[in-house]
Amino acid sequence: MILLIDNYDSFSYNLYQLIGEVMKDIQVYRNDKITVEEIKDLAPEAIVLSPGPGKPENAGICIDVVKEFHDKIPIVGVCLGHQAICAAFGGNISHAKRLMHGKSSKISLHYDFIFKGLPSEISVGRYHSLSLIEDTLPDCLEIISKAKDDGEIMAVKHKEFNVYGLQFHPESILTPDGLTIIENFAEKVERGIL
């Protein structure tokens, strides 16, 4: 079972549908309607932190989920979920270099299993006004993608555990390769690949 934490965002069910194409058993809980203890009882195979409005510190239990489960369960965060992952490890989230709501950007990809089968540059949909401040990148995280147009960090991964943050939206129509990224994450979960 995959646990999707919904951060009260209209994109959450687009993300649910995309994940559902490769992982059939998905349970959705709002970020303030489930506890860490209840998540332990559910014993999910992976956790997805959805996009949402606001700042990571206001995203219900997302930061606590990352702190509790990062070394036990694969986690992927999208937009606000990505920011929650970065904040959980000590990164600072602040105003992005420019507002990117419904905008397309080319991003460069560093080789990682989650980008398997993709070229070194893809187009993605961006919907954010906040981002990780690069010089506050926690030592445990590695940048695996940046925007070509403004240099913003577009994806990070934990250096030791299966934890990924995607600032862009893989579920957006502006991200044609989003399904491949989710398929690769699903394969990592199913095969236990670090």
Query: Which sequence positions are flagged as catalytic?
Result: 79, 169, 171
Tell the residue number behind the tokens 């990780």, with chain if given.
132
Separation CA 152–CA 88 (nearest Å): 19
Separation CA 144–CA 158 (nearest Å): 10
DSSP classification of residue 66: H
Q: Which tokens hold the place of 115?
A: 């980008």
**Amino acid letter for position 179:** L
Secondary structure class of 30 (helix, strand, coil): strand
**Under a CB-based contact definition with an 8 Å cutoff, are residues 79 and 55 in contact?**
no
Phi, psi of 107 (to 5 degrees): -125, 150
Q: Between β-strands 153-158 and 141-147, what pairing exists: parallel, antiparallel or unpaired? A: antiparallel
What does the angle CA 110 – CA 53 – CA 171 come to, to the nearest 5 degrees?
Answer: 45
